[in-house]
Structure 1
Amino acid sequence: MADETLLDLLDDVRGKTLKELQNLDDTHARWAPPGLQNSCLWHAGHAYVVTEFLTMKSLGREPQIPEGWFKMFSWESNPAHLSPDNWPPLEEVVAALKAQHERLRGVISDLTPEQLAANEPGNPNHSVRYGIVHGLHDEARHSGEISLLRKLMSRTFVVQSPPNF
């Protein structure tokens, strides 16, 4: 039987991330405030990479991360040192987030309570459930960063805000 709480959390977190990205164009998606380096685009790609990595690694499976995205969007990345020509368009990242959401929904739906309670293969101090929740928690925090960047943009120059939740 599917863990409805995990599925609700996945739907809620990913839904909010996608809503924050609505009505952004590539120029605004790539904007970072002076003195900072992480843009809405970076936070969106980071959400994909971290959620994928933590969920799949907790299950002992290989993460499905597009070529070059780990270097670009992981916790080891440094956006200030990447050429603007290397960044994917926001539309591509949004499409990947939507596809990943459906795929992860299927993966999580198929997990038994025993599988969720099992230890992570690479970290016996944490359960599979913990690994999944950790990834979604990280995404929720980055969704909040996107929201903050949207607020900064709306007070600095004209950017349409996403509809209310």
Structure 2
Amino acid sequence: METNLFDQMANIRRQTLEVMEGVTEELADRIPDGFRNNIRWHLGHVYTATEFLALSGLKLPMILPEGFIERFASGTSPLDDKAKSVPLPTLSQLGSLLKEQTERIREALPSSRLNESIPAITTSTGLDLLTPEQALRYNLYHEGLHFAIIPVYKKLLSR
């Protein structure tokens, strides 16, 4: 079961990295009319949420560069004053972080700990995640949502 879960994570992450292709720094920062976030935010949010969902419940060390919580946590936006006061990662930096994250999490989270009880992580839809495995499975859905938004933004911003 562990291999399948981490293989699924790697497959979805590969797709996220592929959808970044062709995105320029300028395009990454444009916000489509009627929205609050941009492509860079979605990529940073995927990284930040994955760190939190995968590692926080077991109190394993997270790698969150300076400003990632202020810029990319749920409910934030590049339009927020607080987000403007912290460093902005380049697309290259985000790509590198996203690329190494899945394997690092696989190594940090042994299969023997996937079903340990953790303090409930409650999602924005009210779902309580009670084990690292539940959190990782939810993360597959979560990353898929944000992955799907990026091509839509690319299309909207190319008009």
* TM-score when normalising by structure 2: 0.84
Query: For residue 111 of structure 2, what is the aligned residue in structure 1?
Result: 111
Aligned-residue sequence identity (percent) comes to 27
Of stretches 38-47 and 140-149 in structure 1, the one that deviates more from structure 2 is 140-149
Letter in 1 for 2:115: A
Distance in 2, matches of 1:50 and 1:21, equals 18
Query: For residue 94 of structure 2, what is the aligned residue in structure 1?
Result: 93
1:28, CA displacement in angstroms? 0.6
Q: Is the 1:10–1:105 contact (alpha carbons within 8 Å) kept by the matching residues of 2?
A: no
* TM-score when normalising by structure 1: 0.81
1:153, CA displacement in angstroms? 2.8
User: Is the radius of gyration larger for structure 1 or structure 2?
Assistant: 1
Distance in 1, matches of 2:75 and 2:33, equals 21
1:63, CA displacement in angstroms? 2.0
Distance in 2, matches of 1:119 and 1:69, equals 27
Distance in 1, matches of 2:86 and 2:65, equals 16
Distance in 1, matches of 2:60 and 2:85, equals 32
1:134, CA displacement in angstroms? 1.8
Match of 1:133 among 110, 131, 137: 137
1:85, CA displacement in angstroms? 8.2
RMSD value over aligned CA atoms?
Answer: 2.1
Q: Which has the higher contact order (CA 8 A, sep 6+)?
A: 1
Q: Is the 1:117–1:128 contact (alpha carbons within 8 Å) kept by the matching residues of 2?
A: yes
Distance in 1, matches of 2:44 and 2:117, equals 27
Letter in 2 for 1:50: A
1:138, CA displacement in angstroms? 1.1
Q: Is the 1:71–1:77 contact (alpha carbons within 8 Å) kept by the matching residues of 2?
A: yes
Matched ranges for 1:64-103 at <5 A = 64-81=63-80, 82-83=83-84, 86-103=87-104
Consecutive unaligned residues of structure 1, counting only runs of 5 or more, are 157-165
1:95, CA displacement in angstroms? 1.1
1:78, CA displacement in angstroms? 2.6
Q: Secondary structure at the match of 1:67?
A: coil
Of stretches 73-82 and 20-29 in structure 1, the one that deviates more from structure 2 is 73-82
1:123, CA displacement in angstroms? 2.0
Task: Count residues with an aligned counterpart.
Answer: 150
